[in-house]
Amino acid sequence: MPGLLRILLEAIAVSAVAVVISLLFNALRPAGLELIARTPYQILVPCPEPGGPVQVVQPTNPWILSARTFLVDARSPQEFDLWHLPKAVNLPYDWLDPVPEDRLLELAKSIAASGANRVAVYGDGGRPDSGEHLGKEISGRGIKNVFFVAGGAPTMLARPSHHRSEER
Structure confidence by residue, pLDDT tens digits, 94-132: 878 878 889 988 998 899 899 899 999 999 988 888 999
Indicate whether 6 belongs to any domain: no
148 - beta bridge partners?
Answer: 56, 121
89 vs 104: CA distance, rounded Å: 12
121 vs 75: CA distance, rounded Å: 10
Q: Report the amino acid identity of residue 162.
A: H
Structure confidence by residue, pLDDT tens digits, 76-104: 999 999 999 999 999 999 878 878 889 98
Say if pTM beats, i.e. exceeds, 0.75.
no
* pLDDT of 27 above 70: yes
Indicate whether 147 belongs to any domain: yes
**Helix 130-140, helix 101-114: angle, nearest 10:** 80
27 vs 102: CA distance, rounded Å: 58
Percent of the chain whose pLDDT exceeds 70: 88
Residues contacting 39, CB < 8 A, separation 6+: none
Indicate whether 16 belongs to any domain: no
Structure confidence by residue, pLDDT tens digits, 132-146: 999 998 898 888 999
Q: Report the amino acid identity of residue 126.
A: G
Domain that holds residue 79: 55-166
pLDDT, mean of residues 25-49: 75
Q: What are phi and psi of 146, to 5 degrees?
A: -100, 130
CATH number reported for the structural domain that contains residue 84 in this entry: 3.40.250.10
Place 167 in a pLDDT band, splitting at 50, 70 and 90: very low
Indicate whether 33 belongs to any domain: no
Into how many domains does the chain fold? 1
- What pLDDT does 168 receive? 35
Indicate whether 101 belongs to any domain: yes
**Contact, 70 vs 120, CB < 8 A?**
yes
Indicate whether 32 belongs to any domain: no
Residues contacting 152, CB < 8 A, separation 6+: 74, 75, 122, 123, 124, 125, 126, 129, 130, 131
Place 32 in a pLDDT band, splitting at 50, 70 and 90: confident
Indicate whether 19 belongs to any domain: no
Q: Report the amino acid identity of residue 70.
A: F
Q: Report the amino acid identity of residue 41.
A: Y
- What pLDDT does 164 receive? 39
Indicate whether 111 belongs to any domain: yes
